[in-house]
Structure 1
Amino acid sequence: MREKSSRGRDARCGQRGFTLPELMITIVIMGILAAIAIPAWNGIMRQRQVDSATGQLVGDLRLASTKAANQLTPWAVSLTSGSPSYQMEASGSTNPPITHRLDGAEVTTTGTITFQPDGSLSSGSPTSIGVAASGGSPSQTIHIDPATSEVKAGG
């Protein structure tokens, strides 16, 4: 048989639990912290998507420049504003263009960037390319030096 304390409770139940008001206050505080943290987390995730998409496009632009120099044939990268996709192809190729898709981001520039075998850009090629999260913000810009075809991501 269990022993009773002077208050009528089991003697082995000397442990205390949480009261209902304590639990409710904890849940309210956790809700407030979540309400503050979730929008900030979403902003960080959108920035990471734009950073990743920018890195992917920079890499593909550098690849097109390298292929133009190695294969001694112009390579073009076609961009459409508002589209998450872009295409790469060698000039005069009978192969279908290579299509790439940016996850969670889109290109904000329309035009065709053509890399020449001598390392330059064709006249009329855009030298600044915008990449933004689907919906517009945040964004980054890719810059291409027309003389050297050097591709840099920034701001």
Structure 2
Amino acid sequence: MAAKLKVFTWSDGFHAFTVATTSRPKALAAWGSKQDLFATGLARPLTGGPDHDAALAAPGEVITRGLAIDVGKIGKARRSRTRGPSRAKAARIKTLQAALADLDQSHQAAMADFDAQQTALDAARRKAEARHATDRQTLLADLEAVRASALT
């Protein structure tokens, strides 16, 4: 079963803002308020009147009525639009994202280059160690032969 709608209102001194919703937190969200207007006494429940009827006719939508501006005029409040980045900022974001992708790609290529160089260095090291072992064995054999001939 759906929760019963309640009507809440608050005023900034120039306009009265009214909304029909199921709870105070939802009313605050509809008004876009980051502060608890009920705790400060600015917002209150509304039980009758033209604002009450207009809010019940459009649940969840903020109804505004002029108090000092457009006195008595009742209508739906304009929703505040959350704007994205400006075109210049969007272009800058796109440029930076492309530069980041290029940087990552060049880094991967450099790492692959280092891996290839390391593989070549490892092979050269193994070859040098093998040559050293062979040359050492040859020299040790020659040394043993010379020592043996010197004793005889």
Give yes or no for TM over 0.5. no
Q: What TM-score bracket applies, with the shorter chain setting the length?
A: 0.3 to 0.5
Bigger Cα Rg: 2
Structure with the largest fraction of strand: 1
Instruction: Compute the TM-score of the two structures, normalised by the length of structure 2.
Output: 0.36
Q: Greater share of helix residues, 1 or 2?
A: 2
